[in-house]
């Protein structure tokens, strides 16, 4: 069964480039972005990890930690970090999980159950499903999931944008429209009556009876 939004993210213990972690303890009171990639020393993955390194401070400023994962062992990650820096100019300071026994990958439904129990001899194509993203909130619930094909690098600016939306909508009774960005107008949720909206969101606009827009709350 695939993991669904609002389910509790499965906890696990794993080795990382920064030592062993217990996932829920590592998250603590933060948000977390868990992203996986098919294999070390491959082209798309190299650009992706460099892109995340460039954005890590922006995620941290929003109270979010980032952590990578591949089915390669931690020792391989360590050697690969030099290539990521050479290609992107960004140093990877976030942890990367080593999952050579495929335990976390299967736990998070990134690989089929019959994938075996070892990464040894596996090609990037065999690991193709492992290009996923999970955003987990401080309550350890999954708030966003993404899965990309092998040939398509992810847009981590979009994940940052989605995080901005989730942070905002967790605090205020609003939703964000298509292509929303920080500072743009937002949608008043259906649970707010028109009378209440006059007080909470003065000056709001009614586009349709079911679509009311207002300035982004501060």
Annotated active-site positions, please?
Answer: 45
Structure tokens belonging to residue 109 = 């439904």
Q: Where are the beta strands (DSSP E) in the chain?
A: 13-16, 19-22, 31-36, 64-70, 96-98, 132-136, 142-147, 174-175, 186-188, 205-208, 211-214
Token match 């193709």: residue? 128
Rounded to whole angstroms, how far apart are CA atoms 45 and 49?
Answer: 6
Interacting residues of 82 by C-beta distance below 8 A, sequence separation 6+: none
């Amino acid at each position: 069964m695939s993991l669904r939004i609002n389910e509790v993210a499965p906890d696990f213990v794993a080795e990382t480039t920064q030592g062993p972690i217990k996932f829920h303890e590592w998250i603590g009171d933060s948000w977390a972005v868990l992203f996986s990639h098919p294999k070390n020393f491959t082209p798309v993955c190299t650009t992706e990890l460099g892109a995340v390194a460039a954005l890590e401070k922006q995620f941290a400023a929003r109270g979010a930690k980032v952590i990578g994962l591949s089915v390669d062992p931690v020792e391989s990650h360590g050697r690969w970090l030099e290539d990521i820096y050479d290609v992107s100019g960004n140093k990877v300071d976030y942890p990367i999980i080593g999952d050579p026994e495929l335990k976390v990958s299967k736990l998070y439904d990134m690989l089929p159950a019959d994938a075996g129990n070892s990464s040894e001899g596996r090609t990037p194509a065999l690991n193709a499903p492992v290009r996923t993203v999970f955003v987990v909130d401080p309550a350890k619930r999954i708030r966003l999931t993404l899965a990309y094909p092998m040939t398509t690098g992810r847009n981590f600016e979009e994940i940052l944008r989605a995080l901005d939306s989730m942070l905002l909508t967790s605090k205020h009774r609003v939703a964000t429209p298509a292509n929303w960005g920080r500072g743009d107008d937002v949608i008043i949720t259906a649970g707010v009556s028109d009378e209440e909206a006059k007080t909470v969101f003065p000056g709001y606009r009614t586009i349709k009876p079911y679509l009311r827009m207002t300035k982004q709350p501060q």
